[in-house]
Amino acid sequence: MALRPIITYENPRLRKKSVKIKRIDAELQRLIDDMIDTMRAAEGIGLAAPQVGVLLRLVVCEYADEDSDGVRQTVLINPEITERQGEWMAEEGCLSIPGYVGTVPRAEFVAVRGKNRFGKDVRIKTDGLLAHILQHEIDHLDGVLYIDYLASPDDLRKVEPGKRRRRRQGNEDDTDDPSSADDAQDASGDGDIASAEDTAAARDPELPRISGGSDETALTGQPCCDICGHA
Ligand code: CO
């Protein structure tokens, strides 16, 4: 296992569409383990393979689950969002856009299908934090960043880096891959995945003013995002 560098928004690889994984082999297992290590080291709660420069459809998430008082880890190969319901405005950041957060519209509930790291089919129906993370991470696989949903560049806010939030609380050995089977009853219907691709096509390739100053961006003392966990 090893840490891999996380690429940031200037890197054009982040804007590419990742390809489906065809073979679940030892090399892929190594990538999954490296991504989990890298996510933990960066104190994030989600990471997509393109963020470590690998254009494969793979995401990992891990966060403290308030309900079970443990750590919930999800590894998804070739994930697809098949259903979305509701909408809310979610504050999020991204390990590839360090030091910034924005508030963007997300579905409240999603149904997602994919495979776990052992190749087993997984279906997840979830709301709350995991739904939020999965939407963000799966967007990465289509070259979409959360800033693409901002109505205005001014909606991007600078935050103090380095504070952690909602990361694991102990129980770090709980790394087997549940792939959220508990949420995974019953799969309803086939995909509405086109919406993600529409978004990708419509996005603005320019990152708004991100290299600018921190001037007007109020640091309200509010914790940062739910996604990627920084500050
Ligand atoms: Co991200």
Q: What is the pLDDT of residue 160?
A: 80
Catalytic annotation present for 92: no
- Where b means 16+ CB within 10 Å and e means fewer, 114-129 reads bbbbeeeebbbbbeeb
Check 43, 83, 92, 137 and give the catalytic one: 137
Judge whether 228 and 132 are in contact, CB under 8 Å.
no
- Residue 151's pLDDT is what? 85
Q: What is the pLDDT of residue 86?
A: 98
- Angle subtended by helix axes 194-202 and 128-141, to nearest 10: 60
Contact assessment for residue 70 and residue 170, using Cβ atoms and an 8 Å cutoff = no
Domains and their CATH numbers in the chain: 12-202 (3.90.45.10)
Q: Encoding tokens for residue 65?
A: 């689950």
Cα(227) to centroid of ligand 1, in Å?
Answer: 7
For 218, half-sphere exposure in the C-beta direction (CA atoms, 13 angstrom radius) is 4
What is the CA(145)–ligand 1 centre distance, in A? 7
Distance 224 CA to ligand 1 centre (A): 13
- Ligand 1 centroid–CA 137 distance in Å is 6
Q: Measured in angstroms, how far is the CA atom of residue 33 from the centroid of ligand 1? A: 18
Q: Which of 23, 98, 6 is nearest to 57 (CA)?
A: 23
Among 91, 81, 95, 89, which residue's Cα sits nearest to residue 48? 95
User: Encoding tokens for residue 80?
Assistant: 């697809």
Tens place of pLDDT per residue across the chain (231 aa): 799 999 999 999 999 999 999 999 999 999 999 999 999 999 999 999 999 999 999 999 999 987 777 999 999 999 999 999 999 999 999 999 999 999 999 999 999 999 999 999 999 999 999 999 999 999 999 999 999 999 888 889 999 865 544 443 333 333 333 333 333 333 332 222 222 333 333 333 333 333 333 332 222 233 334 444 443
Distance 99 CA to ligand 1 centre (A): 12
Residue 62 and residue 74 in contact, taking contact as beta carbons nearer than 8 Å: yes
Task: Return residues with CB closer than 5 A to ligand 1 (ion).
Answer: 94
pTM of the model: 0.72
Distance in Å, CA 188 to ligand 1 centroid: 27
pLDDT given at position 161: 64
